A and B are shown apart, each in its own frame.
Chain A
Amino acid sequence: MAWMEKAEKIDGSGNDCMTRVTVMAGIRNRIFLAAGVFCLLAALVIMGDGWRKLFSGRERVITVGVFSDSYWEVQNGYSYRILEDAIALFEEQNEGVRVEYVSGILKEDYPEWLAEQMVLGKAPDVFLIFGENFNDLAEIGALKDLGSFMEDDGSLVKDEFYSSALACGEYGGRQYALPYECAPKLMFVNKTILDAEGIGVPDESWTWEDFYKICKAVTRDTDGNGTLDQFGVVGYTWLEAFDSNGVELFDPMGTECYLTDERVREAIVFMEKLEGLYEGYHVTGRDFDLGRVAFQPMLFSQYRAYKPYPLSIKKYSGFEWECIPMPSGSSGAHIARLDTLLIAMNENTVQEKYAWEFMKLLSAEEQIQSEIFTYSEGVSVLRKVTESDKTLQLLIDSSGEGSGFRLKALSDAVEYAVAAPRFRNYEEVVAEVDKAVRNIMEGSSNISMEQIIWNREINNFLKERGER
């Protein structure tokens, strides 16, 4: 039957058409799937920074972020000297690897320069960071966690470092940076005043009591014009007092303040006592420069910077001076702040291995570390370098005084120093505490009560910070 055949033909061709449509849809789906997966992978590679690894895997160059002048703000003319020596040593040890750095960035511009490079994703593989910037950078994940490197690398002995210096590179229990050089706070003593008053330079185990006695003894009106013109101490703030009395003001994460601690009260009482000596006169650093103040806390680097220079000799020409550890509080020890310059690795570096080697060279290599005493004003972060005879000789030579430099005292001061608490926005919180302490001291009411009130205030502040 013709019509049936015809119908079958139509039906058959219809089926053909349907299968063709299905097959076409299958092919189209596969194309879409492939394109979708490709785009997704491309996006992930770009976002995950795999892109850079793909294109620059073979090039063996590490970049280093440094600044041109001294961290201790001394124009000593040796700006890149240690770095250059380290690069030379590194390139000798690792043939075919080049180290590059951008020169001419001033210290004051350096944090901004580094931040810009990070925002643009062009941060160097290895860079120096200031103690005060470390918290922010560690928090946002810009720094590589060095834990695995330190564990795997047998040549790095943790115990060779001052534990306090190493702790400066820790954040949230992880090591994000190695210390490069450090400087502890020490007490400067105006020997001329003490000699004139018939008081000997206190020994290293002196306490707040000794400190107060001397201050009380030297604070007087020397020329008899009715106003005080010789003072005990300048620049000794609650920070120094808290540290020396073993106060731990915050928990490690910076979520809680312990201002109500008994040791805080002791420190505040001691501060009030000290200030009570001056009858309201506001002592300044200028008074110390003029040789009218017996004590001033200073960083070791400041001591070293001013000692050998004509400028500083002129500045402090009127008197002889020396530095000793901080006095210990009634519940504490001779503990002071440690200022540290750190080296860290870029989280996104593609040259992890060489970056680590170079960091290690700067931080843990004796030869490089010993140059710190020659070309910089800080203290080496390695105990054996600081305590070596060579260093002693160097310090004695540069200070120009043959006598009585107690190197062990310096080493202990570093060892027992504390790093500033490691949490974000620490600087802002310190300003709050400063305000609180000033208010407590100026306030007329009970200290303990004020402590509770202000503790609450600061805790609220911390909470707000945390939420921001």
Chain B
Amino acid sequence: MKENQVPNMVFIWMLNLNLLMILYITGIMAASLSGYVHENTARDFLQTVSHMNLEPWKIPVAAVLLYGSLLFFLCIQTENSLLFYGKTGVEIIISLILGALLNFSYTGMILLILADVIRNMAKVKWKFLVIGIVCGVHLLADYNLFSDSYRIISLDTYLRYYRSDVRAVMLGLKNIVTSLNILIFIIYTVLLMREQMSEKERILSLNERLNRANEELKLANSQMEEYARESVKNAETRERNRLAREIHDTLGHTLTGIITGLDACITLMDIVPDAVKEQLQVIADVARKGMTDVRRSVKALRPDALEKMELEKALEQMMEEIKRASNIEIEYCCSAELNHFNKDEEEIIYRIVQESITNAIRHGKADRILIAISMEYNILYIWIKDNGIGCAKIEKGFGLHHMEERLGMLHGSLNCFSDNGFVLEASIPIRWGEAV
């Protein structure tokens, strides 16, 4: 609202100027009629006109009423195009009646309608047609055009009452105001255009900023994805190191003890057979202790999530974390009851899902992964598909080999192929109630 203040003020000037002009012309007309009567030359007047005049007092009164009516119609604000056409039509009719009343010696009020149309240009369909019509009316509303077909008394006839010098001043004044009205109209239009232009510029610059922000966001997103991949890799490395350490600390230690003990046994075998028996007993103890250590390690190596919670929850949490860390969409549906499996079964299920997701992200560059788990006659099926690049020939890396081996230990099978991405199918026969 505030930015339209200057053009609105100019519009109000135009309104006032038009009122002034209408009062001026009707005043001249009424005064001239009274003058003719006063000087007993009414007959001369009637002899020069082509139709009856309106009573003197009626001319200004009717003109002001018509102008008021025009202003009220101009004040109506509407967003509806049809209503706007109707309103503009009525305005044109009113201004034509007013024009006829003023003998078409002044038609500046049509510019008011034009200004109003331009002001509401954004809201109206076919705006150029409406502008064209109003312009046409303004051009055609001319005394010389109407004087033949319609019976109009020209302003000159009224002015003839006055002395020629007075007449010249009056006409001059009229022409000045008419030009002034056009000038103000032009200023109004220019101001309005400028305002609308600056509005457009503002919108353009905002749009540009939005685009830039969008670009930055995209960049950040890809960096984020990269980071997610890195962190998966880091986790793997850490895991391997831990594994190596564990193997070194437990198996290495136990095996070293066993090897040393067995070497001693070989040496003692011929000399002190009883001591060998004793020594073998010690080695068996070491091996047993090593077994305990391995068990403890394996227990320690179980995924953290599985340690802490049930498989179903663990899977969900893993997927949730990956989704959160990267931009990957994971669809997961499971129709089987996943709890109460054996620990090794749980682990392999978890590992297969985890490894597949990792592969899909790392090798397949996928951003959409479908995971389905179902169970039929004691066999659990895992089906994982991504929309990544897949691969023409599958070269099984460490991950897949490892998966296959572990599945083999459980008498399961693994099958994978490319189909608009990478598809992995695994089946695991479930042993109910048997401990590892």
**Which residues from 142 to 188 on chain A have a C-beta closer than 8 Å to any C-beta of chain B?**
142
B residues in contact with A112, CB < 8 Å: 40-43
B residues in contact with A141, CB < 8 Å: 51-52, 151
| CB–CB B46/A40 < 8 A | no
A111: interface (CB < 8 Å) = yes
A308: interface (CB < 8 Å) = no
A116: interface (CB < 8 Å) = yes
A394: interface (CB < 8 Å) = no
B78: interface (CB < 8 Å) = yes
Looking at the complex, which of A30-38, A93-101, A231-239, A291-299 is the stretch in contact with chain B?
A30-38
| CB–CB A116/B51 < 8 A | no
**Which residues from 80 to 137 on chain B have a C-beta closer than 8 Å to any C-beta of chain A?**
90, 94, 97, 101
B270: interface (CB < 8 Å) = no
B45: interface (CB < 8 Å) = yes
Looking at the complex, which of B14-22, B63-71, B172-180, B310-318 is the stretch in contact with chain A?
B63-71
| CB–CB B69/A39 < 8 A | yes
- In the complex, residue of chain B having the shortest beta-carbon distance to the beta carbon of A40: B69
- In the complex, residue of chain B having the shortest beta-carbon distance to the beta carbon of A133: B43
| CB–CB A47/B58 < 8 A | yes
A115: interface (CB < 8 Å) = yes
| CB–CB A136/B65 < 8 A | no
Bound Cα distance from A40 to B77, whole angstroms: 19
B36: interface (CB < 8 Å) = yes
A residues in contact with B94, CB < 8 Å: 40
A residues in contact with B66, CB < 8 Å: 39-40, 43
Bound Cα distance from A425 to B50, whole angstroms: 12
B76: interface (CB < 8 Å) = yes
| CB–CB B75/A115 < 8 A | no
**Which residues from 370 to 422 on chain A have a C-beta closer than 8 Å to any C-beta of chain B?**
none
Interface residues as binary, A248-273 with B (CB distance below 8 Å gives 1, 0 otherwise): 00000000000000000000000000
| CB–CB B46/A118 < 8 A | yes
A residues in contact with B36, CB < 8 Å: 116, 119
A46: interface (CB < 8 Å) = yes
A residues in contact with B42, CB < 8 Å: 112, 115-116, 118-119
B residues in contact with A118, CB < 8 Å: 42, 46, 52
Given contacts A29-B76, A32-B72, contact A111 B43 (CB under 8 A): yes
Interface residues as binary, B145-162 with A (CB distance below 8 Å gives 1, 0 otherwise): 000000100000000000
- In the complex, residue of chain B having the shortest beta-carbon distance to the beta carbon of A121: B55
Bound Cα distance from A111 to B43, whole angstroms: 7
A140: interface (CB < 8 Å) = yes
Given contacts A37-B69, A43-B62, A115-B42, contact A32 B37 (CB under 8 A): no
| CB–CB B49/A39 < 8 A | no
Given contacts A115-B46, A118-B42, A136-B47, contact A36 B73 (CB under 8 A): yes
Q: Distance (Å) between the CB of A271 and the closest chain B CB?
A: 31
What is the interface of chain B mostly: helix, strand, loop, or mixed? helix
Residues of A within 8 Å of B, CB-based: how many?
A: 34
Interface size class of B (residues with CB under 8 A): 35 or more
A residues in contact with B55, CB < 8 Å: 120-122
A91: interface (CB < 8 Å) = no
Bound Cα distance from A401 to B209, whole angstroms: 118
Q: Distance (Å) between the CB of A444 and the closest chain B CB?
A: 38
- Which listed residue (B56, B75, B151) contacts A32, Cβ 8 A? B75
| CB–CB B72/A140 < 8 A | no
A139: interface (CB < 8 Å) = yes
| CB–CB A36/B62 < 8 A | no
| CB–CB A39/B68 < 8 A | yes
Interface residues as binary, A18-59 with B (CB distance below 8 Å gives 1, 0 otherwise): 000000010011001101111110111011000000000000
Count how many pairs of residues, one from A and one from B, have CB atoms less than 8 Å apart in the complex.
Answer: 103
Q: Distance (Å) between the CB of B26 and the closest chain A CB?
A: 12
B61: interface (CB < 8 Å) = yes
Bound Cα distance from A43 to B58, whole angstroms: 9
**Which residues from 47 to 102 on chain A have a C-beta closer than 8 Å to any C-beta of chain B?**
47
Bound Cα distance from A71 to B94, whole angstroms: 47
| CB–CB B53/A35 < 8 A | no
Bound Cα distance from A94 to B69, whole angstroms: 44
B residues in contact with A38, CB < 8 Å: 69
Q: Distance (Å) between the CB of B46 and the closest chain A CB?
A: 5
Q: Distance (Å) between the CB of B28 and the closest chain A CB?
A: 15
- In the complex, residue of chain A having the shortest beta-carbon distance to the beta carbon of B94: A40
Q: Distance (Å) between the CB of A34 and the closest chain B CB?
A: 8
- Which listed residue (A43, A119, A468) contacts B53, Cβ 8 A? A119
B269: interface (CB < 8 Å) = no
| CB–CB B40/A121 < 8 A | no
Given contacts A33-B72, A43-B66, A46-B61, contact A120 B56 (CB under 8 A): yes
Given contacts A112-B42, A115-B45, A120-B56, contact A39 B65 (CB under 8 A): yes
A347: interface (CB < 8 Å) = yes
| CB–CB A137/B69 < 8 A | no
- In the complex, residue of chain B having the shortest beta-carbon distance to the beta carbon of A119: B42
**Which residues from 138 to 193 on chain B have a C-beta closer than 8 Å to any C-beta of chain A?**
151
Bound Cα distance from A116 to B47, whole angstroms: 12
Interface residues as binary, A273-303 with B (CB distance below 8 Å gives 1, 0 otherwise): 0000000000000000000000000000000
| CB–CB B72/A119 < 8 A | no
| CB–CB B62/A47 < 8 A | yes
B407: interface (CB < 8 Å) = no
Given contacts A40-B69, A137-B46, contact A47 B76 (CB under 8 A): no
Q: Distance (Å) between the CB of B225 and the closest chain A CB?
A: 30
Bound Cα distance from A154 to B70, whole angstroms: 48
**Which residues from 416 to 468 on chain A have a C-beta closer than 8 Å to any C-beta of chain B?**
425, 468
B residues in contact with A25, CB < 8 Å: 77
B33: interface (CB < 8 Å) = yes
| CB–CB A32/B73 < 8 A | yes
Bound Cα distance from A416 to B211, whole angstroms: 99
Bound Cα distance from A39 to B73, whole angstroms: 10
Given A32-B72, A116-B36, output 15 extra A-B contacts at Cβ < 8 Å.
A25-B77, A32-B73, A33-B73, A33-B76, A36-B69, A39-B66, A39-B69, A39-B72, A44-B97, A47-B101, A112-B41, A116-B42, A118-B46, A119-B37, A140-B50
15 A-B contacts (beta carbon < 8 Å):
A32-B75, A33-B76, A35-B69, A35-B72, A36-B68, A36-B71, A47-B97, A119-B45, A120-B33, A120-B55, A121-B55, A140-B49, A140-B151, A142-B52, A468-B48
Q: Report the 6 A-B pairs with minimum CB-CB distance, sorted nearest first.
A: A121-B55, A36-B72, A39-B69, A43-B65, A115-B42, A115-B43
